[in-house]
Structure 1
């Protein structure tokens, strides 16, 4: 958190520790200090993601066996961060769209007043350590966030701030999965959980690469997936092998896992690739090693983004090669309702939070 002696104040949602929504406190906190290599971003909108909830409830602990929608919070004091204990108290929020209003050094002044997206997975830091916005350091559930200049990307787009705020985490994660698994023109790709944030981004970004996509989702969401350009959609409740009539794919993008893991693995061609960055239906799965080695399969786990991934996502936005999927917006102080809406199984599209500004007195002023 910021030095408590800092006089400028803002509103933020502070997660005070592992637990339920009672751990989310909307309060006044100091505006973050801007170091020599940083810029201060005035947050216009912040997206809601599974990682926000997972970090708060300690889902990344190896003791958790339930899926992300059903896991109960760990007991207070247990370590549930994916890279060790989370640095509570913490301002969460991995997705940020905003405007640069202060520059920590003369070399970054050209960014002032530019609308930017912040790279959620910060891979350009000077110390070489990868950090996640809102998990390893304070994030975007606030009026302002200070971030290294290497992690802000100007974006020229007609999309709204809330639409842009749905992009960084889900689309960056999806593009990273496609990049690592070598998806290109003509690749046959199976995407499970295709109506979720990462799933719907994977669908669009795979189609952008010229792949042939088979999407798995509940029937109520099939028409919306077809509107994105998918021609083959499968009911998530049916037998996958039967629905695909024995067909196999080159790549399976699976963030669902759980009991269906083996069925998804069975849809790969010999030499095929399974790639994942999550486990919505449960992280502990059964694997028949014979299927893995006899079919020469590749299993890829992805968290850290490759260097070129986020610039590719920004380019896709600027050229309108993907579409924003915004389900609803909420004021920042209504974060509990926003996270409940995010976890609604009927949701299609992402949720964005919009800060309510403090009166001008005592608040940082944008440099104009």
Structure 2
């Protein structure tokens, strides 16, 4: 199969198009024919060695954890799926090796969900990692209809999904973002505020009694979080472990198919959508990584083999 892979840590220059064997399909796995895969910052951070202390690496590495596609083959003891099923997954495994920037990827059934009919292949590929990150953080904090939620980084890939999920859970949502993204956030049902100096005062103007939930998707904002959090409020971060010392939770997304199925249901109910910014062919993965590293896209970057 065609795949993009690397043999050593580095920047986009270490990526090369290559031919690799089609992955084996272990018990409890399915083989997915990739229709689309999504770029996430973690992909190039791993490639640069940023998670070397956390995860074992087996070269050659095919990067990528997000995928949408069709089931090509099922392994032993996988009654949930059949050949031809349209699926999506956050296809993270226990070590870094066979990812989604290829024509085929093997996926543990625990990470798999059926593709929502309301999303196209590109949108479905952009949902799993970012959507699960937001969903798991918000549900772990018990977000519900009585909450006012502050989302740090509300216009980003995770944050924009977090806004929609919090709204679907019944919460009022305030979100930090650059003014150029405020109209888009209003369309999602969010009350936008500009980040930077004076943020605490701007949030307090909208929520004088404080907010009950803070979802931090950017890091470096703990001072604002603690300043606007109401007594008894809950907060968590995906980017700042120091929240642990302030009564918060530090989280990293888990590949849970049931949670992804819940997100698919929200999409089919019209309460969740995914914005796609750019689409690249497989051979242009290095260019896609460079664009992701610049951090200026308003939506997901998609690879279409």
TM over 0.5: yes
Query: Which residue in the other structure is 2:67 paired with?
Result: 96
Query: Which residue in the other structure is 1:347 paired with?
Result: 297
TM-fit CA distance, 1:106: 7.1
Query: Which residue in the other structure is 2:230 paired with?
Result: 269
Q: Aligned equivalents of 1:202 and 1:141: distance in 2?
A: 25
TM-fit CA distance, 1:288: 11
Measured against aligned partners, the alpha-carbon deviations of 1:200-250 in whole angstroms (never above 9, x if no partner) come to 1111100110111001011111111111121x1111123111212363211
Distance change (3 Å), C-alpha of 1:267 and 1:86: farther
Query: Which residue in the other structure is 1:301 paired with?
Result: 250
CA contact (8 A) 1:119 1:153 kept: no
Matched, 1:250 2:212: yes
CA contact (8 A) 2:219 2:238 kept: no
TM-fit CA distance, 1:59: 2.6
Distance change (3 Å), C-alpha of 1:206 and 1:120: farther
TM-fit CA distance, 1:141: 0.6
Q: How many equivalent residue pairs?
A: 301
Structure number, greater radius of gyration: 1
**4+ runs of 1 displaced by more than 6 Å?**
none
Q: How does 1:216-295 map to 2 (within 5 A)?
A: 216-230=176-190, 232-245=191-204, 247=208, 248-258=210-220, 260-279=221-240, 292=246
Q: How does 1:180-195 map to 2 (within 5 A)?
A: 180-195=140-155
Query: Which residue in the other structure is 2:283 paired with?
Result: 333
TM-score, normalization by structure 1: 0.76
- Give unpaired runs (5+ residues) of structure 2: none
TM-fit CA distance, 1:150: 3.3
Query: Which residue in the other structure is 1:66 paired with?
Result: none
CA contact (8 A) 2:28 2:77 kept: no
Query: Which residue in the other structure is 1:144 paired with?
Result: 104
TM-fit CA distance, 1:140: 0.6
TM-score, normalization by structure 2: 0.91
Q: Aligned equivalents of 1:107 and 1:16: distance in 2?
A: 33
Kindly report the root-mean-square deviation, in angstroms, between the aligned alpha carbons of the 2 structures.
Answer: 2.3
Q: Aligned equivalents of 2:277 and 2:27: distance in 1?
A: 38
TM-fit CA distance, 1:156: 3.7
CA contact (8 A) 2:88 2:114 kept: yes
CA contact (8 A) 2:204 2:228 kept: no
